[in-house]
Amino acid sequence: MLDQVLKTLEGRRHASQAALKELLSIPSVSTKPEHADDVKRCAAWVADQLKAAAFDVSIMPTGGHPAVVARNKHQAGRPTVLVYGHYDVQPAEPLDLWTTPPFEPTVRNGAIRARGAADDKGQVWCHIESLLAWQAHGGPPVNLTLLIEGEEEIGSPNLGAFVRKHKDALKADVAVVSDTNQFARGLPAITYGLRGLAYMEVKVTAANRDLHSGLFGGTVANPANELCALLGTLHDREGRVTVDGFYDDVVALTPQERQEWAKLPWNETNYALGLGAPKIAGEAGYSSLERRWARPTCDINGLTSGYQGPGAKTVLPCEASAKVSMRLVPEQDPLRIVEALEATLHARCPATVRLEIHCHSHTPAVLVPTDGRAIQLAAEAVEIGFNKRPVFMREGGSIPVVNMFKRELGIDTLLIGFGLDDDNVHAPNEKFDLDALHAGTRTCAALYERLGRL
Amino acid sequence: MLDQVLKTLEGRRHASQAALKELLSIPSVSTKPEHADDVKRCAAWVADQLKAAAFDVSIMPTGGHPAVVARNKHQAGRPTVLVYGHYDVQPAEPLDLWTTPPFEPTVRNGAIRARGAADDKGQVWCHIESLLAWQAHGGPPVNLTLLIEGEEEIGSPNLGAFVRKHKDALKADVAVVSDTNQFARGLPAITYGLRGLAYMEVKVTAANRDLHSGLFGGTVANPANELCALLGTLHDREGRVTVDGFYDDVVALTPQERQEWAKLPWNETNYALGLGAPKIAGEAGYSSLERRWARPTCDINGLTSGYQGPGAKTVLPCEASAKVSMRLVPEQDPLRIVEALEATLHARCPATVRLEIHCHSHTPAVLVPTDGRAIQLAAEAVEIGFNKRPVFMREGGSIPVVNMFKRELGIDTLLIGFGLDDDNVHAPNEKFDLDALHAGTRTCAALYERLGRL
């Protein structure tokens, strides 16, 4: 049957591109109130497509933009798969940097170009299009629930409550998210690990007001000096994080992982060149891929203090603050790490200043065993879709919905994404390769067949 | 004759306050284009007063706001004194923090309250008022040139060129500036030392664009991390600056200076309390007055990098920069210090980032020997004005015009100021004590008599 579905997909290529263009032409920018009607219109468009695939569809209210929830007829004895995606997009600004307008999708040089092309409309479309093809052959042999939300780009503020409220309706054996990348063009990947995150704010204060640096300099602590001195202690010369106990629970890379990653097509020099950096950097003893995928970090994301305009102002600032976040790896406990940073900084802080630290958010790392049944079936599906065996890779970022599904629904997530590093996600001239679109659609079609065997 | 002048001043107290109120009611805010006419009007007001004192007055163009230049009839054989002041003021914002409107001068609790009351209109008025009184007695027995500029609060951008152009007309034996403070209320002071300044901008860059801290964190240098690490090395645990060679040329305090300063009424605990700081801080082995007046510093005046808004953004910033300024003390060569900071930071900077440093400005420290003839005559004048012998103090800030007069005219400057630490200079509710006004006016009258003996 899968062969028939794939054949149907071949015949629908032009129709598929045309439909995706329709989807991409709706400016569903979730962060902008003036686009609220576009967001609604986009939800309705997605719902209509899923109805056409014979799904039972609801456009459901949340505290914010609506979520589209769609189910095929669930049959007892079949495994159930929850497919998550989002139909909202980032703002397109700065508009003058776009070669063609962000909401007038254009095919150029083998890619469809528009805001949301890769993140995440193009990838959501792969799933819907595969279901439309399956419908021509009686529907997929698996119970499916699709949850396509409209608030991912604003941090999914209502998704947690929504999933908790509809826990029963969303119950599944495994989740699928297509919002990640191939390892490289034509080398598909399944992402089996994500780093976690602990995001902190660190503030140092001394005097109760800004002072003149001439009249007072040298007689009272300068919070900017002290903040730099404190944060400057957070790494040693080998690039290791010096927060007490930071590495205690870190799971070491296995020799097998290191061997496999070393085989991936990757060039450190090209990597530095591509970033425009003088050279690569990071923790001694690890390759860039190892650093990115499997080693924890501590990065200052923002610094602010005193005078920041052009020229000079002789102010001794009364406060200095930093955003400091740590990427976490498997078995690091976010709460323990948060407390370790707090304890370390307080222990190192002189009594001449006040130190305040608070945590914006924290989420643990994710690691899905690559020898599980679902991930092996997914790998078969990707191989059918791309005509190439996928690599198993990790990603350095965090995808909060993966932790949420684990926490609220108790299920793992398969991260099967079709994007590429050069897709300009969140930037001008976002695009999605037509090859990725079609291979991705084939992969989804195969995935629904394979996961039926779960 | 001086006694007669002082008696005349007694009789003019009300008239003097009324005239100062007129001066303070003119919003001569030099930085705001919409006040350009007020600035002009203020120059004309000052000129008219000096004409009434029988001075030959010109309102002279500069590249910006005009300068008022006034001379009495210079007589051969008399010493010549150049009096510098400024008639422009800082903006008054935030207006809602003023108890009474900033340009509606009000006497309350023994002080006249308005923008510019202490800085510098009130102190300029002390000079003019004393000359009006002298005029009733045939004029002061000294050759005077007054230079009252209108751009001090915007950094005197045209003053250097003006002084160079009119070098001959401004030729003098000594300069007088009244734009500093008493040591404490009723304890007058002559300021004989100022710190210098070297103001630098330090910028660290790595990748050529902001990156996602999850996808790239740990694989490329983070400029914010590296900037903190670099600047965090600039002090040791004793509060000493670690720039190579920083203290090489520093003139040590003499035992006599340390003894005299230790006798001044000063309480370290009250100082910390007044600043709202947890405790005082600074270079080990020195008192706060010594740190402020005679020890060099290195202070971060501003920090900027990455995301600075509320909440969290997982950005790995592509650059981080800091304003870093050093207060310098006698015999430190600003240029050598600038080069030392550059060399130190470059030597400590890792090869994973680019480091750019540039100098906004630099000016040397000033130290006038307290046993000179002019300063001793000035001390007599202050004692007459305040009925109290002045202390000789230094100040932690820089007054660029002092260096300029030294450089362009080859003369020292007597810093005889009447303000107080609680005058709210550059802040809401600026004020000038009536006691300071009248004692200051008496001091000026006496000063012109005493400097006639130079």
Q: What is the pLDDT of residues A160-217, one digit of tens each?
A: 999 999 999 999 999 999 999 999 999 999 999 999 999 999 999 999 999 999 989 9
Q: Which residues contact A260 (CB under 8 A, 6 or more apart)?
A: A391, A392
The reply to whether B150 and B233 lie within a common domain is no
Q: Is the pLDDT of residue B421 over 90?
A: no
Closest B-chain CA to A209: B275
Quick check: is B36 in a domain? yes
The answer to whether the beta carbons of residues A218 and B297 sit under 8 Å apart is yes
Phi-psi region of A357 (alpha: psi -120 to 50; beta: other; left: phi over 0): beta
Cβ-defined contact of A228 to B325 (cutoff 8 Å)? no
The reply to whether A69 and A107 lie within a common domain is yes
Question: Which residue in the set A207, A217, A235 is minimally distant from B396, CB to CB?
Answer: A217
Closest A-chain CA to B425: A212
Q: How far is B133 from chain A (nearest CA, A)?
A: 34
Quick check: is A372 in a domain? yes
Cβ-defined contact of B308 to A304 (cutoff 8 Å)? yes
Question: Which residue in the set B224, B275, B316 is minimally distant from A303, CB to CB?
Answer: B224
Final residue belonging to a domain, choices A363, A391, A408: A363
Question: Which residue in the set B220, B301, B312 is minimally distant from A275, CB to CB?
Answer: B220
Q: How far is B61 from chain A (nearest CA, A)?
A: 26
Question: Which residue in the set A218, A296, A304 is minimally distant from B283, CB to CB?
Answer: A218
The reply to whether B342 and B375 lie within a common domain is no
Phi, psi of A198 (to 5 degrees): -130, 120
The reply to whether A58 and A114 lie within a common domain is yes
Q: Which residues contact B410 (CB under 8 A, 6 or more apart)?
A: none
Q: Which residues contact B123 (CB under 8 A, 6 or more apart)?
A: B85, B178, B179, B417, B418, B419, B432, B440
B335-344: Cβ within 8 A, 24+ apart: B335/B362, B336/B245, B336/B249, B337/B198, B337/B243, B337/B246, B337/B362, B338/B198, B338/B200, B338/B362, B340/B243, B340/B244, B340/B245, B340/B246, B341/B198, B341/B200, B341/B243, B341/B298, B343/B244, B344/B234, B344/B242, B344/B243, B344/B244
Question: Which residue in the set B291, B295, B352 is minimally distant from A281, CB to CB?
Answer: B352
Probe site for chain B from A90, A181, A227, A228 (most B CB atoms < 10 A):
A228
Cβ-defined contact of A302 to B300 (cutoff 8 Å)? no
Q: How far is B22 from chain A (nearest CA, A)?
A: 29
Percent of chain B, pLDDT > 90? 96
Cβ-defined contact of B228 to A228 (cutoff 8 Å)? yes
The reply to whether A184 and A325 lie within a common domain is no
Cβ-defined contact of A216 to B292 (cutoff 8 Å)? yes
pLDDT of residue B35: 97
Question: Which residue in the set B207, B225, B322 is minimally distant from A300, CB to CB?
Answer: B225
Quick check: is A107 in a domain? yes
The answer to whether the beta carbons of residues A243 and A234 sit under 8 Å apart is yes
Cβ-defined contact of A325 to B314 (cutoff 8 Å)? yes
pLDDT of residue B398: 87
Q: Residue B108 is part of a domain; what is its CATH number?
A: 3.40.630.10
Cβ-defined contact of A224 to B280 (cutoff 8 Å)? no
Cα–Cα distance, B251 to B53 (Å, whole number): 44
The answer to whether the beta carbons of residues B178 and B418 sit under 8 Å apart is yes
Spacing of C-alpha B97 from chain mean position:
24
Cα–Cα distance, A344 to A230 (Å, whole number): 10
The reply to whether B308 and B418 lie within a common domain is no
The total number of residues shown for chain B amounts to 454
The reply to whether B329 and B372 lie within a common domain is no
Cβ-defined contact of B214 to A316 (cutoff 8 Å)? no
Quick check: is B351 in a domain? yes
The reply to whether A359 and A372 lie within a common domain is no
The pTM assigned to this predicted structure is 0.89
Contacts of A394 in chain B (CB under 8 A): none
Place of tokens 């003119």: B26
For residue A6, the SS3 value is helix
Evaluate the CA torsion angle B414, B419, B420, B424 in order and state its sign: negative
Q: Is the pLDDT of residue B256 over 90?
A: yes
Final residue belonging to a domain, choices A363, A384, A416: A363
Place of tokens 């004793």: B238
For residue A389, the SS3 value is coil
Closest B-chain CA to A273: B207
Quick check: is B262 in a domain? no
- CB-count exposure of residue A301 (10 Å: 0-12, 13-18, 19+): buried
Cβ-defined contact of B232 to A230 (cutoff 8 Å)? yes
Final residue belonging to a domain, choices B363, B386, B410: B363
Quick check: is B256 in a domain? no
Probe site for chain B from A200, A203, A225, A268 (most B CB atoms < 10 A):
A225
pLDDT of residue A265: 94
Cα–Cα distance, B402 to B379 (Å, whole number): 19
Q: What is the pLDDT of residues B225-252, one digit of tens each?
A: 999 999 999 999 999 999 999 999 999 9
Contacts of B221 in chain A (CB under 8 A): 277-278, 281
Spacing of C-alpha B184 from chain mean position:
17
Domain extent for A308: 196-257+291-363
Count of structural domains within chain B: 2
Q: What is the pLDDT of residues B83-99, one digit of tens each?
A: 999 999 999 988 999 99
Closest B-chain CA to A306: B302
Nearest CA to A71 out of A60, A86, A84, A58 is that of A58
Cβ-defined contact of B305 to A300 (cutoff 8 Å)? yes
Q: How many Cβ pairs within 8 Å bridge chains A and B?
A: 289
- Which pairing describes strands B211-212 and B315-316: parallel, antiparallel, or unpaired? antiparallel
Contacts of A298 in chain B (CB under 8 A): 225
Cα–Cα distance, A259 to A223 (Å, whole number): 46
Cα–Cα distance, B235 to B46 (Å, whole number): 48
Nearest CA to A124 out of A451, B54, A132, B150 is that of A132
DSSP secondary structure string for all residues of A27-72:
--BTT-GGGHHHHHHHHHHHHHHHHHTT-EEEEE--SSS-EEEEE-
Q: What is the mean pLDDT of residues B38-60?
A: 98
Q: What is the pLDDT of residues B129-174, one digit of tens each?
A: 999 999 999 999 999 999 999 999 988 999 999 999 999 999 999 9
Q: Is the pLDDT of residue B426 over 90?
A: no
Q: Is the pLDDT of residue B324 over 90?
A: yes
Quick check: is A262 in a domain? no
Cβ-defined contact of A312 to B361 (cutoff 8 Å)? yes
pLDDT of residue A274: 92
Question: Which residue in the set B195, B208, B234 is minimally distant from A214, CB to CB?
Answer: B195
Q: What is the mean pLDDT of residues B390-417?
A: 95
SS (H, E, C) chain B: CHHHHHHHHHHCHHHHHHHHHHHHCCCCECCCHHHHHHHHHHHHHHHHHHHHCCCEEEEECCCCCCEEEEECCCCCCCCEEEEEEECCECCCCCHHHCCCCCCCCEEECCEEECCCHHHHHHHHHHHHHHHHHHHCCCCCCCEEEEEEECCHHHCCCCHHHHHHHCHHHHCCCEEEECCCECCECCECEEEEEECEEEEEEEEEECCCCCEECCCCECCECCHHHHHHHHHCCCECCCCCECCCCCCCCCCCCCHHHHHHHHHCCCCHHHHHHHHCCCCCCCCCCCCHHHHHHHCCCCEEEEEEEECCCCCCCCEECCEEEEEEEEEECCCCCHHHHHHHHHHHHHHHCCCCCEEEEEEEEEECCEECCCCCHHHHHHHHHHHHHHCCCCEEEEECCCCHHHHHHHHHHCCCEEEECCECCCCCCCCCCCEEEHHHHHHHHHHHHHHHHHHCCC
Probe site for chain A from B300, B316, B349 (most A CB atoms < 10 A):
B300
The reply to whether A398 and A297 lie within a common domain is no
The answer to whether the beta carbons of residues A32 and A90 sit under 8 Å apart is no
Q: Residue A334 is part of a domain; what is its CATH number?
A: 3.30.70.360
Cα–Cα distance, B56 to A61 (Å, whole number): 82
- Identify whether B48 is preceded by a cis peptide bond (ω within 30 of 0): no
Cα–Cα distance, B267 to B252 (Å, whole number): 23
For residue A384, the SS3 value is helix
Q: How far is B223 from chain A (nearest CA, A)?
A: 9
Average pLDDT over all residues of chain B: 96
Cα–Cα distance, B38 to B41 (Å, whole number): 5
The reply to whether B432 and B352 lie within a common domain is no
Evaluate the CA torsion angle B386, B392, B397, B398 in order and state its sign: positive
The answer to whether the beta carbons of residues A114 and A24 sit under 8 Å apart is yes
Cα–Cα distance, B328 to A103 (Å, whole number): 58
The reply to whether A73 and A204 lie within a common domain is no
Residue A416 CB coordination number (10 Å): 28
Cα–Cα distance, A67 to B125 (Å, whole number): 72
Digit-by-digit pLDDT tens for chain A (454 residues) are 999 999 999 999 999 999 999 999 999 999 999 999 999 999 999 999 999 999 999 999 999 999 999 999 999 999 999 999 999 999 998 899 999 999 999 999 999 999 999 999 999 999 999 999 999 999 999 999 999 999 999 889 999 999 999 999 999 999 999 999 999 999 999 999 999 999 999 999 999 999 999 989 999 999 999 999 999 999 999 999 999 999 999 999 999 999 999 999 999 999 999 999 999 999 999 999 999 999 999 999 999 999 999 988 889 999 999 999 999 999 999 999 999 999 999 999 999 999 999 999 999 999 998 999 999 999 999 999 999 999 999 999 988 899 999 999 999 999 999 999 899 998 899 999 999 999 999 999 999 999 999 9
The answer to whether the beta carbons of residues B292 and A223 sit under 8 Å apart is no
Quick check: is B279 in a domain? no
pLDDT of residue A52: 98
The reply to whether B337 and B373 lie within a common domain is no
